[in-house]
Structure 1
Amino acid sequence: MTFHLHPQLEKDCIPLGKLGLSRVLLMNDSQFPWFILVPEIEGITEIYQLSKQQRSVLIEESSGLAERLNVLYKADKINIAAIGNLVQQLHIHHVVRYRSDKAWPSPVWGKFTATPYAEQELADAITFVTSELGLVKG
């Protein structure tokens, strides 16, 4: 079965590359460094639906991404969540948080209208993150 990214994720995000199991996306909202892992397994909506090996890989990818984002962005906190109420396709949010950000200490989900990246800001973010995360293109 061929993997298809949910249309809402395609609309809201910029593809950055791939890890072993997952695509890595950047949420097009410049207010927060916000990344999404999407396991490339068609029809999965929950982590428990993955095989034991896939779950292990996903947890390692998520933990590795969170650790690298924490270092790169000097975060106060990394919020990680797999909510899926609006987009049921399994995807895991990784949001870099600062005590000084406009949503702190509340979650960012649905709090503010997204502010898309300016063209140069987006290009800089993509270059910075993809080189530092060691993502595979595609």
Structure 2
Amino acid sequence: MDEFKLDRRLESDSDTVMQTGLCDLRLSKDARWPWLILVPRRTDVSEIFELTPLDQVLLTFETEMVASALKKITGATKINIGALGNIVRQLHVHVIARFEGDANWPNPVWGFGKAEPYTADKRDDLIEKLREALSS
């Protein structure tokens, strides 16, 4: 079995939050939206249907768990979930907290404006809150 390797673009554009049962959970470095990325630790998989049935169930469960925690922590108006993969082929699922009046509400976040980095304190605080919420 090949060893899992995270796509270099996902690695450079996000920070590690934690590992779940199936996925690497990562925080996008774009602070305009609380934006999480679930990356199943499976090699050569670019589509959800390429996962085993059990892994599909795990991904669905972990996506729901992460989305619920993100909504609770942020008080988001809406949680957007998507698995596009048009540029980064490695399977990954975006879980994004949206708020009325945010940087591009109600339009999509992709391709809008320029990414704004987190301050180290805000990034670390959000990661800690996520770890606490997902560990309880």
TM-score band by shorter chain is over 0.9
Matches within 5 A, 1:46-65: 46-65=47-66
Partner of 1:89: 90
Gaps of 5+ in 2: none
* Structure 1: 4+ residue segments shifted above 4 A: none
Q: Is it true that 1:75 corresponds to 2:105 in the alignment?
A: no
Q: Following TM superposition, by how much is the alpha carbon of 1:100 offset from its aligned partner in structure 2, in angstroms?
A: 1.6
Partner of 1:33: 34
Q: Following TM superposition, by how much is the alpha carbon of 1:131 offset from its aligned partner in structure 2, in angstroms?
A: 1.6
Does the 8 A contact of 2:73 with 2:129 survive in 1? no
State how far apart, in whole Å, the 1-side matches of 2:10 and 2:97 are: 19
Q: Is it true that 1:99 corresponds to 2:82 in the alignment?
A: no
**Residues 72-131 of structure 1: per-residue CA shift (max 9 Å, x gap):** 111110000000011000000000001120210101012121111112222222222222
State how far apart, in whole Å, the 2-side matches of 1:35 and 1:106 are: 18
Aligned residues: CA RMSD: 1.2
Does the 8 A contact of 2:65 with 2:134 survive in 1? no
How many residue pairs match? The answer is 135
State how far apart, in whole Å, the 2-side matches of 1:94 and 1:31 are: 14
Gaps of 5+ in 1: none
Q: Following TM superposition, by how much is the alpha carbon of 1:67 offset from its aligned partner in structure 2, in angstroms?
A: 1.3
Paired residue type of 2:134: L
Identity of matched residues, %: 36
State how far apart, in whole Å, the 1-side matches of 2:3 and 2:23 are: 14
Paired residue type of 1:116: P
State how far apart, in whole Å, the 2-side matches of 1:17 and 1:7 are: 18
Partner of 1:121: 122
